[in-house]
Amino acid sequence: MSKRYNFAAVLSAVVLICCGALILNQNVNAAGEGKITGTVKLDGPAPHMKGIDMGKDPYCAKAHANDPAHLETYVVGADGGLANVVVYISEGLSGSAAAESSATEPVFDQKNCMYTPHVLGLTVEQKFKVTTSDQTTHNIHPLPNPMTGNIPWNQSQPPGAAPVEKSWKAPEMIPVQCNIHPWMHGWFAVVKGPHATSDTKGTYTISNVPAGNYTVTAWQEAAGTQTQKVTVAAGGAGSANFTFKPK
């Protein structure tokens, strides 16, 4: 009889230790979190990007007098690297990791009558700032689908205006425009969890990725999305390269 009790005690101790180890293990992961890196390329020659005539607003035209502006639907670097592609984890994140949002407050600036960056990656509920560096009035007008829970708004920013601080409620690729300068077109790419945006070399690094098996999605505003499976070891690096065909 007592033997049986002993056995039960040992068993529950073992279970407890295992649980503890599992929980600890999670913490260890959080400390030595891994990453996902890679390169995004465009297959074939870069599509021609039309020049922008800013003649409607002399301030804008002057800002680009020596550096003509072009549409930014595809921004391709010297080696075919594709910029402004948002890469994020679409499957495999635990609830808490998906809910986690970076502490920094990203900035979306209106500069020389263009948006910098052209695509701003954000997590759900993450606060961001819209600023203006221009001496002309802009109106900042995101166009989400209201059925997602993201609500459209439209605010003016005259020269010297204070930043507008906002956040989004649901994952969505949200186009943003200025009605005063109709060529100004950008994106708020709202996703869950860790994400990164490719630079002009096409490279990206998603940091703070816990160990696990993931599906990673790369989104380009015109070419669409692609997915890949990636495994990240504790504190290690997974890799995913993408090649888009222009549409």
Partner 1 sequence: MQRNNLRKWSLLLGAVAIVALPMPSWAQLTKYDLESRMGVESHVGNITGHAKAAKADYRRYCVVCHGELGDGNGESFPWIDPKPRDFQLGVFKCRSTPTGTLPTDQDLFDTLARGLDRSNMPQWSTFTKQQRADLVAWVKHFSPRWTNEKPGTPITIPPEPEVTPERIKAGRDVFARVQCWKCHGVLGQANGPSAATLTDDLGRPIAAYNFTEGARPKCGDTDRDIYRIFMTGLDGTPMPSFADNIKPDEAWDLVFYLRTLMSQNSKEKAMAKQLGLKPVDPNAPAGQQ
Judged by CB under 6 A, does residue 49 bind ligand HEC?
A: no
CB of 153 to partner 1, least distance (A): 3
Q: Is 139 in the site for ligand HEC (CB under 6 A)?
A: yes
Does 208 engage in binding with partner 1 (CB under 8 A)? no
The count of C-alpha atoms lying within 13 angstroms of the C-alpha of 230, restricted to the half-sphere facing its C-beta, is 30
The entry of ligand HEC, partner 1, none that residue 155 binds, CB within 5 to 8 Å by partner kind: partner 1
Q: How far is the CB of 182 from partner 1 (least distance, A)?
A: 4
Number of residues interacting with partner 1: please give it, by CB under 8 A.
32
- What lies within 8 Å, CB to CB, of 89 at 6+ separation is 36, 98, 192, 193, 194, 195, 206, 209, 214, 215, 216, 217
3-state secondary structure of 37: strand
Report 177-206 residues binding ligand HEC (CB under 6 A): 179-180
- String marking each residue 165-194 x if it binds partner 1 according to CB under 8 A: --------------xxxx------------
Q: Which two tokens stand for residue 9?
A: 């005690």
Q: Which is nearer to ligand HEC, 179 or 213 (by Cβ)?
A: 179
Q: What is the smallest separation between the CB atom of 220 and partner 1, expressed in angstroms?
A: 19
**Cβ neighbours of residue 130 closer than 8 Å, sequence gap 6 or more:** 107, 108, 109, 110, 140, 157, 163, 164, 165, 166
Residue from 102, 131, 139, 203 touching partner 1 (CB under 8 A): that is: 139
Amino acid letter, 161? A
Q: What is the helix, strand, coil percentage profile of the chain, to 5?
A: 20, 40, 45
Nearest CB to partner 1, comparing residues 118 and 181: 181
Query: Do residues 186 and 120 make contact, with C-beta atoms less than 8 angstroms apart?
Result: yes
Residue 25 or 179 having the CB closest to ligand HEC: 179
Rg (CA), the chain: 23
Site for partner 1, residues 36 to 75, rule: CB under 8 A: 56-59
Residues that bind ligand HEC (CB under 6 A): 139, 179-180
